[in-house]
């Protein structure tokens, strides 16, 4: 079972059992986590931390029951409600994996993390742009993180809060390449047999809200166009390059004021 489905199943089981009154207390004390490092990596960020116990077999050792999933979640907007029933909208999250044993006997973990905006329904997540991350973190010195573990038929387990310095995060965000570089596109309009020039694929959007993800569709079929290169031109002329996601949407475009933007597809 893919990792994402495995974690989602764990969440669904935990909620279902809670509503049915069948969830047990696991009696496992919350462990502290020790932040080690945060570094830029291709497509993701590497977050390393330590724990005094093996987190990936915590329930097997304490209760004898198998774990369903583990997830490290950090709040970017000051939201410190880590309950499973609650969604932290702006988050830094990822799944941990064992990396090595430390000389003092503790356990070293690596989590591949991403900055996301998650819908309350958990139906989808959108990767945050560097500009959005900076706006969320500019007035903070640290962000809180917790690791949670789901296991049948127990309440979810949560570690103690681990805090990560914002200065470390922002230094790596500045290094991160969010999308492959796309050179500015020089468009030469094709000409039909009757000499009628064709306009470039362009969509003008009069944004009535201050953030939006723009759909890109195939001009022939009208179907979503996933994994295609695009350029967004802001009101001040600034160009934002990107590649549409699996559903054909651009990254989240944010603005502090109402503005008209233009979306160009790069073929």
The model's pTM is 0.61
Q: What pLDDT, on the 0 to 100 scale, is given for residue 239?
A: 81
**What are the tens digits of pLDDT across the range 155-206?**
899 999 999 999 999 999 998 766 544 444 444 444 555 555 444 444 444 4
Task: Report residue 237's pLDDT band, with 50, 70 and 90 as the boundaries.
Answer: confident
Q: What is the mean pLDDT of residues 16-37?
A: 78
Q: Is the pLDDT of residue 32 over 50?
A: yes
Q: What is the 3-state secondary structure (H, E, C) of the chain?
A: CCHHHHHHHHHHHHHHHHHHCCCECCCCCCCCEEEEEEEECCCCEEEEEEECCCHHHHHHHHCCCCEEEEEEEEECCCCCCCCCCCCCCEEEEECEEEEEECCCCCEEEEEEEEEEEECCCCCCEEECCHHHHHHHHCCCCEEEEEEEEEECCECCEECCCEEEEHHHHHHHHCCCCCCCCCCCCCCCCCECCCCCECCCCEEEEECCCCEEEEECECCCCCCECCCCEEEEECCCCCEEEEECCCCCEEEEEECCCCCEEEEEEEC
Task: Report residue 23's pLDDT band, with 50, 70 and 90 as the boundaries.
Answer: confident
């Amino acid at each position: 079972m893919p990792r994402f489905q495995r974690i989602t199943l764990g969440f669904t089981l935990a909620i279902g059992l809670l509503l049915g009154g069948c969830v047990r207390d696991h009696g496992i004390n919350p462990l502290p986590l020790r932040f080690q490092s945060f570094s830029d990596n291709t497509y993701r960020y590497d977050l390393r931390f330590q724990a005094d116990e093996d987190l990936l077999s915590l329930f097997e050792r304490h209760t004898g029951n198998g774990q369903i999933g583990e997830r490290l979640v950090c709040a970017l907007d000051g939201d410190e409600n880590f309950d499973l029933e609650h969604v932290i909208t702006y988050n830094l999250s990822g799944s941990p994996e064992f990396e090595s044993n430390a000389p003092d006997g503790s356990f070293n973990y690596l989590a591949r993390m991403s900055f996301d905006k998650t819908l309350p329904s958990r139906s989808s997540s959108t990767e945050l742009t560097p500009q959005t991350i900076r706006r969320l973190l500019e007035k903070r010195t640290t962000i809180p993180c917790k690791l949670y573990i789901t296991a049948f038929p127990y309440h979810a387990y949560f570690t103690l809060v681990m805090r990560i310095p914002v200065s470390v995060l922002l230094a790596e965000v500045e290094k991160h390449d969010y999308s492959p570089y796309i050179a500015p596109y020089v468009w030469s309009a094709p000409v039909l047999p009757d000499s009628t020039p064709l306009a470039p694929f362009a969509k003008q959007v009069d944004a009535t809200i201050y953030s939006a993800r723009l759909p890109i569709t195939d001009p022939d079929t009208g179907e979503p166009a996933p994994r295609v290169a695009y350029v967004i031109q802001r009101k001040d002329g600034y160009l934002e390059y990107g590649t549409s996601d699996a559903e054909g949407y651009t990254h989240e475009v944010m603005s502090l004021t109402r503005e008209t933007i233009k979306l160009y597809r790069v073929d």
